[in-house]
Structure 1
Amino acid sequence: MSARPAPQLSETVLRPVRGHHAFESCVEQLGTAIRLGVYPRGSTLPPERELAPLLDVSRATLREAMAALREAGLVQTTRGRGGGTVVTLRPRSPSGRAASRISAARRRSWHEALTFRRIVEPGAAALAAQRAADGDLTAELRDQLETAHADVAAAARAAHHRQADSRFHLTLASVTESPRVVQAITSVQAELHEMLLAIPVLDANITHSDGQHAAVVRAVLAGRPDRAFTAMEQHCDDTAALLRGLVG
């Protein structure tokens, strides 16, 4: 006998997502609901026409989130009459190592790293923008930041994109010319890279990430610390939401 979802929990746990970059929030909410047993292994998720209103997202966004859950091994979808999306709950990473085997201690460390990142990276972006506002961002530093951004935007393959992404964040730290900021962000990026290896590479997330990088660069070069802080904070929040949804 197949497991049955708890409809009353669905309406309690799933809530309208924030409008900006709803994809990551959908993945987080659905992935969390699956791991917490709102939708047990073997149960069938509600159809799109029910889930989309609960999350207050378009069906296109919901389909992107479902594709991410499939790539992560949390669900499996069959088409045709009698088909649907069934919870499999077999998390896997691109390297073949099951995400479910990640130790509790490692997950706690990752959670702490994401919290730390949300403090230091928006602050670094704001500091870089303040230096631009004060006239302390030299032409060379501006060029370094723009080049790093162009590299990550142009990276196509997954491995190249992740490395270019890390270089972008480290370059942003370096333009602050603060050794402590560089050290902190180097530490955060090293742990973040390990986290990202535990989930599939998702085109929708890369597209959102590239847009957020562009917003950060614009704010920094324009000398707008407030905008730089907010753009980087949003970027950190969306990455954290994706990881919480797919890894827990």
Structure 2
Amino acid sequence: MTGSSSAQQLPDLARVVLRPVRGHHAFEACVEQLATAIRLGVHPHGTTLPPERELAQRLHVSRATVREAIIALRTAGMVETRRGRGGGSVVTYSPRRPRARARAAKSPSAEILASWLDSLTFRRIVEPGAVATAAGLDLADDQRAMLTTAYDAVTRAAGSAAHRQADSRFHLAFASVTGSPSIIEAVTRVQAALHDMLMQIPVYDVNIGHSNSQHEGILQAVLDGRVERARQTMEEHCDDTAALLRGLLG
């Protein structure tokens, strides 16, 4: 199962990650949310974004604002617009291998590093709480199936870039089943920061294997309704990832 096909089996993620825009900067907020959804693989390479009307309804903005945001994404090379039957805004963004991106990218500034490290601290609070909340719910069969599908997608993802996006979708899936807009927004934010950090370091097979094992423990704890076990396993997962990033990013 590829990262792209698995995302198509998780349509609810797109619905919950794209949320009503707040404040007066509608254009910028639309670009941020759509770009984040694309980078995290909620809308993976080769898939088509929802129609402008649907996006406008989700984001609570005008279709003109959505159109302007899509133009910005197209200018940035993240989507291309295809005309005619079956057309639309098709995602062209495909994450480069982390090692290649690390070589090409400039070293992050001290300000960015400080923001990233703060995100790791925030994540340690947010994501354990999210899975604990999910574990305490009476999950419907389709929610349980969605979480299992998200886990399977991570374990079967081919290549480091596809694995990174599948990993993001796995974490977002738990936020989505809580039904809490605040939890979903917080997890999306920390996953976006985590994505940027992980793209700066090499991929280690031993770390991926360890991470997948923890993912299995988190999934099983949630499906079994073991609230504290879900929280504890996610805390360990967050701590291990944070230790790796702090060591390599300084």
TM range, smaller chain: 0.5 to 0.7
Q: Which amino acid aligns with 2:125?
A: I
1:197 pairs with 196, 199, 205, which one?
Answer: 199
Answer whether contact 2:102 2:201 (CA < 8 A) is retained.
no
How far apart are residue 128 of structure 1 and its match?
Answer: 0.4
Corresponding residue SS for 1:201: coil
How far apart are residue 95 of structure 1 and its match?
Answer: 1.4
How far apart are residue 100 of structure 1 and its match?
Answer: 7.8
5+ residue gaps, structure 2: 1-97
Show the counterpart of 1:40: none
User: Which whole-Å CA distance do the structure 1 matches of 2:229 and 2:163 have between them?
Assistant: 25
Corresponding residue SS for 1:95: helix
2:117 pairs with 111, 126, 129, which one?
Answer: 111
Corresponding residue SS for 2:158: coil
Answer whether contact 1:146 1:217 (CA < 8 A) is retained.
yes
Q: Provide the TM-score with structure 2 as the length reference.
A: 0.59
User: Which whole-Å CA distance do the structure 2 matches of 1:193 and 1:159 have between them?
Assistant: 10
How far apart are residue 213 of structure 1 and its match?
Answer: 0.3
Q: Per-residue CA shift, 1:191-243, capped at 9, x if unaligned?
A: 10000011001101000000000000000000000000000000000000000
Answer whether contact 2:101 2:199 (CA < 8 A) is retained.
yes
Count how many residue pairs are aligned between Structure 1 and Structure 2: 153
Structure-2 change in CA distance of 1:96 and 1:145 (3 Å): closer
- Is residue 125 from structure 1 mapped to residue 127 from structure 2 by the alignment? no
How far apart are residue 93 of structure 1 and its match?
Answer: 4.7
Larger-gyration structure (1/2)? 1
Q: Provide the TM-score with structure 1 as the length reference.
A: 0.60
CA RMSD of aligned residues (A): 1.5
- Is residue 143 from structure 1 mapped to residue 145 from structure 2 by the alignment? yes
User: Which whole-Å CA distance do the structure 2 matches of 1:243 and 1:236 have between them?
Assistant: 11
Answer whether contact 1:93 1:99 (CA < 8 A) is retained.
no
Query: Which aligned pairs between 1:40-189 and structure 2 lie closer than 5 A?
Result: 93-97=99-103, 101-131=107-137, 136-189=138-191
Show the counterpart of 1:30: none
Answer whether contact 2:126 2:186 (CA < 8 A) is retained.
yes
How far apart are residue 156 of structure 1 and its match?
Answer: 2.4
Answer whether contact 1:145 1:171 (CA < 8 A) is retained.
yes
Show the counterpart of 1:223: 225
User: Which whole-Å CA distance do the structure 1 matches of 2:177 and 2:128 have between them?
Assistant: 14
5+ residue gaps, structure 1: 1-91
Q: Per-residue CA shift, 1:43-97, capped at 9, x if unaligned?
A: xxxxxxxxxxxxxxxxxxxxxxxxxxxxxxxxxxxxxxxxxxxxxxxxx953144
Corresponding residue SS for 1:112: helix
Structure-2 change in CA distance of 1:151 and 1:114 (3 Å): same
Show the counterpart of 2:91: none
User: Which whole-Å CA distance do the structure 2 matches of 1:98 and 1:151 have between them?
Assistant: 28
How far apart are residue 101 of structure 1 and its match?
Answer: 2.2
User: Which whole-Å CA distance do the structure 2 matches of 1:193 and 1:224 have between them?
Assistant: 28
Question: Which consecutive aligned stretches of 4+ in structure 1 deviate over 2 angstroms post-superposition?
Answer: 96-101
User: Which whole-Å CA distance do the structure 1 matches of 2:209 and 2:193 have between them?
Assistant: 22
Structure-2 change in CA distance of 1:100 and 1:126 (3 Å): same
Q: Which amino acid aligns with 1:103?
A: S
Structure-2 change in CA distance of 1:93 and 1:129 (3 Å): same
Show the counterpart of 2:209: 207
Corresponding residue SS for 1:175: helix
Q: Which amino acid aligns with 2:175?
A: A
Structure-2 change in CA distance of 1:195 and 1:137 (3 Å): same
